[in-house]
Structure 1
Amino acid sequence: MTGTARPVRRWVPPLSGMELVTVLDRLRGWSPFDGGLLLDDVAAVLDDVPPSEEDTAQLAERLSGHLTRLVTIAVASEAEQDPTAAQLVLRARTLHADPLPCGRQEAIAHLRRLGWTANELHDRLTAIRCLKEPA
């Protein structure tokens, strides 16, 4: 077959150089969701013995991070169509917006609310098959 030359459009990248740098930076900062780590943190705050004062702020930060990821997973998988998941997402967003209280008892109560909500949202997302159960 003798070919006739057809004009081919010049390829144009879908993103600019700066947009590609932004995507690369986000990929480098990304870490996969770790359900086992979430459950470890939930167990630490829901245990009969509350975490030490030194660990409180770090646990609150990690649980807030878990809630953020769970909410992102719920939204991306359209889990909010499930009324229970929608209610848990709303509770997670509300708790995430609340700062860690100053008093010891108030901080522990806040940690436990974060832990319960993270655990319930994780369980619900697993039940409606938006997440796999941790190994």
Structure 2
Amino acid sequence: MTTTTTTTPTGRRWGRFALHYVEMIIAMFAGMFLIGMLRSAAGLGVSLAEQPELWYLAMAFDMSVGMGAWMRVRGHRWAPTLEMCAIMFAPAVPLFPLLWTGVIDGDVLMLVSHVGMFPLMLAAMLLRLDEYAGCRH
């Protein structure tokens, strides 16, 4: 006796959603590494220890370029693309005053911002489920 398992349309939808989440993370890190290397090679590198705010903003920009480019290749509209790029910056901004007052240092800023970024991305994707499950592009 053989049992066949088929993927339901709902299962495919969530599979596309998960794949898209992973693709965006890969594109985000690719942008961070590639543009960061180019910036360093051009002598425009920023030190986390000396300028943590500028370092984070540059890194968030690099991630945004990589992820935003991939989202546009995948056919996303500008609104969700820019929304997702804003999420790269969002976790750090509330932490800047804590950095300035010495409550946290640059390493904590980097860690908390990166950890916060992923659930924020997921929340934005869930709010636009049709966009990210492959139904509208």
Give the alignment's TM-score, normalised by structure 2.
Answer: 0.33
Give the alignment's TM-score, normalised by structure 1.
Answer: 0.33
Question: Which one has a larger percent helix, Structure 1 or Structure 2?
Answer: 2
